[in-house]
């Protein structure tokens, strides 16, 4: 199953791969070179399919838990000053996604969307200290019943050139619903109350909508 954001890219890539494969097969005479080029085209197609996959999962929403919004690895757990929305200290957990991870962004908590804003910006590597302030990004805040306002921020990386954000202010959303999509490498930061109990550790691999980041 593939995410809707990838349908056009998958169709385009498939068409290009087929055309190039026919050209290579017809014009390249050297067997080893022809096979190498055909293999490269197949690998390219597989990587695109891998990136846009959207596997079915058995989600179990829980208002007393904050779930990871994406697949990836936890790279930051620290207390920071969040200046865009809260303008005070929050507990931030950052999850970095490689190009091989599922890139669907899911709501870490359910509730009412109180803030949703897109920011154009640079394309620093996703783990750069200033990426959360200078890169292309979207900020979404959901008012949850148990934790209060929970902010998650999609941050484009060096390869990402487009962030898709579905959140609209005023709408009610469910935990694990699609919040957006980041194309080709990125990171998502989640900002929690300082008293939230962290349930992950640095370098831990997490799954979007399944892994618990924090709890009451």
| Confidence (pLDDT) at 159 | 61
Residue 118: strand, helix, or coil: strand
Spell 42-65 as b/e; 16+ CB within 10 A means b.
eeebeebeebbebeeeeeeebeeb
User: CA-to-CA distance for 180 and 139, rounded, in angstroms?
Assistant: 11
Helix spans in 71-201 (H): 131-134
What's the pLDDT at 123? 64
| Structure confidence at residue 125 (pLDDT) | 64
Alpha-carbon torsion, ordered 35, 40, 42, 46, to 10 deg: 160
Which DSSP state fits 159? S
* DSSP of 39-102: HHHHHHHHHHHHHTB---------TTEEE-SSSEEEEEEEEEEETTTT-EEEEEEEEEE-TTS-
Instruction: Give SS3 for 24.
Output: helix
**The CATH number, out of the four listed (3.40.50, 2.70.70, 1.10.3470, 3.30.450), of the domain defined by the range 65-215:** 2.70.70
pLDDT at 9 over 70: yes
| Residue 160 pLDDT > 60 | no
Is there a contact between 59 and 210 (Cβ–Cβ < 8 Å)?
yes
- Range from 2-6, 42-46, 155-159, 175-179 that averages highest in pLDDT: 175-179
Residue 30, SS3 per DSSP:
coil
- pLDDT value for 126: 59
The set of residues, in sequence order, having a beta carbon less than 8 Å from that of 214 and lying 6+ positions away, is: 65, 66, 91, 93, 192, 196, 197, 198, 199, 200
Active-site positions read 186
Q: Are the beta carbons of 177 and 191 closer than 8 angstroms?
A: no
What is the separation of C-alpha 79 from the centre of its chain, rounded to a whole number of angstroms? 22
What pLDDT score was predicted for residue 55?
Answer: 81
Q: Please calculate the CA angle 107-92-64 and round it to the nearest 5 degrees.
A: 50
Domain chopping of the chain, boundaries: 4-51, 65-215
Q: Which of 1-15, 37-51, 160-174 bottoms out in mean pLDDT, i.e. has the lowest? A: 1-15
């Amino acid at each position: 199953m593939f995410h809707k954001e990838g349908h056009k890219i998958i169709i385009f890539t498939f068409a290009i791969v087929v055309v190039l494969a026919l050209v290579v097969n017809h014009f390249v005479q050297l067997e080893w070179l022809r096979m190498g080029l055909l293999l490269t085209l197949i690998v390219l197609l597989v990587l695109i399919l891998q990136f846009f996959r959207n596997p079915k999962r058995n989600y179990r929403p829980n208002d007393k838990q904050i779930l990871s919004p994406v697949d990836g690895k936890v790279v930051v757990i620290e207390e920071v000053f969040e200046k865009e929305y809260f303008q005070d200290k929050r507990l931030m957990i950052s999850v970095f996604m490689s190009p091989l991870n599922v890139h669907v962004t899911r709501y870490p908590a359910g509730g009412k969307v109180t803030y949703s804003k897109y920011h154009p910006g640079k394309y620093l590597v996703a783990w750069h200290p200033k990426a959360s302030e200078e890169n292309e990004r979207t900020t979404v805040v959901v008012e949850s019943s148990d934790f209060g306002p929970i902010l998650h921020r999609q941050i484009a990386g060096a390869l990402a050139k487009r962030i898709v954000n579905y959140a609209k202010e005023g709408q009610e959303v469910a935990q694990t619903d699609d919040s957006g999509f980041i194309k080709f490498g990125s990171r998502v930061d989640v900002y929690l109350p300082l008293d939230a109990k962290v349930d992950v550790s640095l370098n831990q691999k997490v799954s979007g909508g399944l892994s618990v980041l924090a709890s009451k």
